[in-house]
């Protein structure tokens, strides 16, 4: 394979940009066309979402990982190097988007001519706007018969203050007007501000693990140059490496002689350990230390779930699979955890439910690991009031991830729950239903704005635990799929939280304890008792399944005992014979219930703790 010479592309002819948009507005399809036009991939009918390489992405038709590719394009006699990053559109992966923007100087904001501006379009626009990037608005799917580009242009002008004449109308599927997008990229987006004469300074913005070559880091060079044989140091771990190979991604790896300032590429440097290629790390030449780049603020997990191996012997394999997958997906947080019923495992923090499902699917597909995932919970906080506890924890405010650590009401001045600021964009005919849905979820309305005569943008403050499981599904089904939803973190607020215990014949079962809001306690308790009644096998004595808050029982289900038909041998005769036999049986059962203890089988736990998909 011929190595490319990258020195022919000086800084002024480099453009780094990413494509951002709402889900399904055509980012990856636009990326395909850009790759075809610049001759990076051959033109065939088979090019569908070339940059979505993971099996999950192929199956679900969504982008999960931001992927980069370098394009070569000749514009007015000058050869340009364009580095494109295709980003995900779901709210769960907005961390990927913000990371990709750090390696760019501009963005293409794609809006569907049919759907108009959606919640995620707004969120991604503000991400790019705050990063002070050049923004090129592109209206896609103009070949659809319901397309209304004029309306979309007005929306863009009203919401984002971008003049109508700057919008480019394209059809990525048919390839209409794509050349114009490339010309806009070259004219509008500034080249990176850096110099090859400076010392080497490279930002690691993504990394993957290869079984044969170790860690492959995707880097953006902010100064200097790098080639095979250079000795580099990581600012984060202070370890030294020898560079084995550098190159660019055209989406496949293409080795080059050197990489220069302003370019984006990959680097293989014999990093064996998964933890070494920290995303957001700065690399520099040995003996030429530089000021590290600011890096990324770490992602804030919104949803926590326990993950346990189905069989404890698999623990070590699962551990190495988790380490490799968290290298590729750095927004997952991992804490060791163990449970009496499920054995040793981890408590993982995800950015949302879709993120959790995709992570689980990738574990199964890429590492052949089947795991038990418990129902998702959110992190609560408690402000302690008793001096003894404050001394024990070393601080007055503690975070509660596991219900077992929930402190007693007497020693706490207030409990706090996480909140999010949600943005809902919907056609106006569904407003009534959506407002009712939000009020059911204890949400507070903050703002309501008409984007144009048909669409409304609602802003609500939600408690996170109300939207974490099924809010999105409920919203989609209420609005026939037209409403879109996006949220951002809004800190903690005081809430009336309680810990609910589940008792079997009066004995608490500690793995089934949950933290819930006082208003929702009764419904949750009843639901848990009903599920347990289905999951626990019947015994020879009666089992009372109760949900309790402190000493107060709020819900109960009774699992009846198996019983022998003791009166089968009575045939006619006096009633007292029957009564005597039944009474003797009842006494025996009573004695049995006193001494019998209920063993909850493991699969019953799994059925109750697992996420309910069949609700």
Per the model's pLDDT, the better-predicted residue between 163 and 211 turns out to be 163
* DSSP character string of 387-428: HHHHHHHSSSEEEE-SGGGPPPGGGEEEEEEEEEEEEEEEEG
State pLDDT tens for residues 216-275: 888 888 888 888 888 888 887 788 888 888 888 877 888 888 888 888 888 888 777 666
**How far, in Å, CA of 445 to CA of 594, rounded?**
53
Homologous superfamily of 6-188 in CATH? P-loop containing nucleotide triphosphate hydrolases (3.40.50.300)
Report CA-CA distances (Å) from 474 to 147, 434, 471, 486, 512. 27, 9, 5, 14, 26
Q: Check whether 297 has a pLDDT greater than 90.
A: no
Tell me the Cα Rg of the chain.
29
State which H helix or E strand residue 28 sits in.
helix 27-37
- The model's confidence at residue 331, banded by pLDDT at 50, 70 and 90, is confident
Query: Hey, what CATH class is 303-373 in?
Result: alpha beta
Give the pair of three-digit tokens for residue 285: 């030449």
- The model's confidence at residue 5, banded by pLDDT at 50, 70 and 90, is confident
**How far, in Å, CA of 235 to CA of 203, rounded?**
10
Query: Hey, what CATH class is 380-495 in?
Result: alpha beta
pLDDT of residue 548: 92
Name the range with the highest mean pLDDT among 291-300, 348-357, 369-378, 410-419. 410-419
- CATH, range 201-285: 2.40.30.10
Per the model's pLDDT, the better-predicted residue between 41 and 333 turns out to be 333
For residues 441 and 471, the answer to whether their CB atoms sit within 8 Å is: yes
**How far, in Å, CA of 165 to CA of 590, rounded?**
83
State pLDDT tens for residues 75-98: 888 888 888 888 887 777 777 787
State pLDDT tens for residues 454-467: 788 889 998 888 88
- The model's confidence at residue 615, banded by pLDDT at 50, 70 and 90, is very low
**How far, in Å, CA of 286 to CA of 378, rounded?**
43
Give the pair of three-digit tokens for residue 66: 């931001």
Mean pLDDT of 434-444: 88
Neighbours of 357 (CB within 10 A): 17
Per the model's pLDDT, the better-predicted residue between 161 and 342 turns out to be 161
For residues 479 and 426, the answer to whether their CB atoms sit within 8 Å is: yes
- The model's confidence at residue 614, banded by pLDDT at 50, 70 and 90, is very low
State pLDDT tens for residues 497-519: 888 888 888 888 777 788 888 88
Domain boundaries of the chain, sorted by first residue: 6-188, 201-285, 303-373, 380-495, 499-609
For residues 565 and 472, the answer to whether their CB atoms sit within 8 Å is: no
**How far, in Å, CA of 202 to CA of 328, rounded?**
19
Q: Check whether 613 has a pLDDT greater than 60.
A: no
Mean pLDDT of 288-304: 75
- CATH, range 499-609: 3.30.70.2570
Mean pLDDT of 389-395: 80
| The CA-based dihedral angle spanning residues 473, 478, 484, 488, taken in that order and rounded to the nearest 10 degrees | -60
Report CA-CA distances (Å) from 586 to 386, 533, 567. 49, 22, 13
Percent of the chain with pLDDT over 90: 3
pLDDT of residue 44: 66
Q: Check whether 165 has a pLDDT greater than 70.
A: yes
Give the pair of three-digit tokens for residue 103: 């390696």
pLDDT, mean over the chain: 82
211 φ/ψ angles, rounded to the nearest 5 degrees: -60, -30
pLDDT of residue 610: 61
The candidate with the shortest Cα–Cα distance to 549, out of 500, 516, 588, 587, is: 500
pTM of this structure: 0.73
pLDDT of residue 129: 86
Question: b/e map of 475-507 (b: 16 or more CB within 10 Å)?
Answer: beebbeebbbbbbeeeebeebebbbbbbbbbee
**How far, in Å, CA of 442 to CA of 466, rounded?**
8
Percent of the chain with pLDDT over 70: 95
The yes-or-no answer to whether 380-495 and 499-609 have a common fold is yes
Mean pLDDT of 351-364: 83
Q: Check whether 147 has a pLDDT greater than 80.
A: yes
- The model's confidence at residue 527, banded by pLDDT at 50, 70 and 90, is confident
């Amino acid at each position: 394979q011929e190595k490319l010479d990258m020195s022919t592309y000086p800084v002024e002819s480099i453009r780094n940009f990413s494509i951002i948009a709402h889900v399904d507005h055509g980012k990856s399809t636009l990326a395909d066309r850009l790759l075809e036009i610049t001759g990076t991939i051959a033109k065939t009918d088979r090019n569908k979402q070339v940059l979505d390489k993971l099996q999950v992405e192929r199956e679900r038709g969504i982008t999960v990982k931001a992927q980069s590719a370098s394009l070569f394009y000749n514009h007015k006699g000058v050869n340009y190097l364009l580095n494109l990053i295709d980003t995900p559109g779901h709210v769960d992966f907005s961390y990927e988007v913000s990371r990709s923007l750090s390696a760019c100087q501009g963005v293409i904001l794609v809006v569907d001519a049919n759907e108009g501006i959606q919640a995620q379009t707004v969120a991604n626009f503000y991400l790019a706007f705050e990063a002070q990037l050049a923004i090129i608005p592109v209206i896609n799917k103009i070949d659809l018969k319901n397309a209304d580009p004029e309306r979309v242009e007005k929306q863009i002008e009203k919401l984002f203050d971008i003049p109508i004449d700057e919008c480019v109308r394209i059809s990525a599927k048919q390839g209409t007007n794509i050349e114009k997008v490339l010309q806009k990229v070259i004219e509008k987006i500034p080249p990176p501000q850096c110099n090859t004469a400076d010392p080497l300074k490279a930002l690691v913005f993504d990394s993957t693990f290869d079984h044969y070559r170790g860690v492959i880091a995707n880097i953006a060079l902010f100064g200097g140059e790098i080639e095979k044989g250079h000795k580099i140091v990581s600012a984060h771990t202070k370890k030294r490496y020898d560079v084995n190979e550098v190159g660019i991604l055209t989406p496949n790896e293409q080795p080059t002689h050197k990489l220069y300032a302003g370019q984006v590429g990959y680097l293989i440097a014999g990093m064996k350990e998964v933890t070494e290629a920290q995303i957001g790390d700065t690399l520099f030449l040995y003996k030429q230390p530089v000021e590290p780049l600011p890096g990324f603020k770490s992602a804030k997990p919104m949803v926590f779930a326990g993950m346990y191996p189905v069989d404890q012997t698999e623990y070590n394999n699962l551990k190495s699979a988790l380490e490799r997958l968290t290298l590729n997906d750095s927004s997952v947080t991992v804490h060791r955890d163990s449970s009496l019923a499920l054995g040793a495992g981890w408590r993982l923090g995800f950015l949302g439910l879709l993120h959790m499902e995709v992570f689980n699917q990738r574990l199964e597909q890429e590492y052949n690991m089947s795991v038990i995932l418990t129902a998702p919970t959110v992190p609560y906080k408690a402000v302690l009031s008793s001096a003894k506890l404050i001394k024990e924890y070393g601080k007055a405010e503690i975070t509660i991830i596991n219900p077992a650590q929930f402190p007693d009401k007497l020693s706490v001045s207030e409990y706090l729950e996480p909140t999010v600021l949600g943005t809902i964009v919907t056609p106006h005919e569904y407003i009534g239903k959506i407002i009712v849905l939000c009020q059911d979820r204890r949400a507070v309305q903050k703002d309501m704005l008409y984007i144009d005569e048909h669409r409304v943008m609602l802003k609500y403050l939600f408690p996170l635990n109300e939207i974490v499981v099924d809010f999105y599904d409920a919203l989609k089904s209420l609005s026939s799929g037209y409403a879109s939803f996006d949220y951002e973190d809004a800190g903690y607020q005081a809430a009336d939280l309680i810990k609910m215990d589940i008792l079997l014949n009066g004995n608490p079962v500690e793995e089934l304890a949950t933290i819930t809001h006082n208003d929702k306690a009764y419904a949750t308790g009843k639901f848990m008792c009903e599920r347990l009644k289905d999951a626990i096998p019947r015994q020879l004595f009666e089992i009372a399944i109760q949900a309790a808050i402190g000493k107060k029982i709020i819900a109960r289900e009774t699992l009846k005992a198996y019983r022998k038909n003791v009166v089968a041998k009575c045939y006619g005769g006096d009633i007292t014979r029957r009564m005597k036999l039944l009474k003797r049986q009842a006494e025996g059962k009573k004695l049995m219930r006193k001494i019998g203890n209920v063993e909850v089988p493991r699969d019953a736990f799994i059925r109750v703790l697992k996420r309910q998909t069949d609700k």
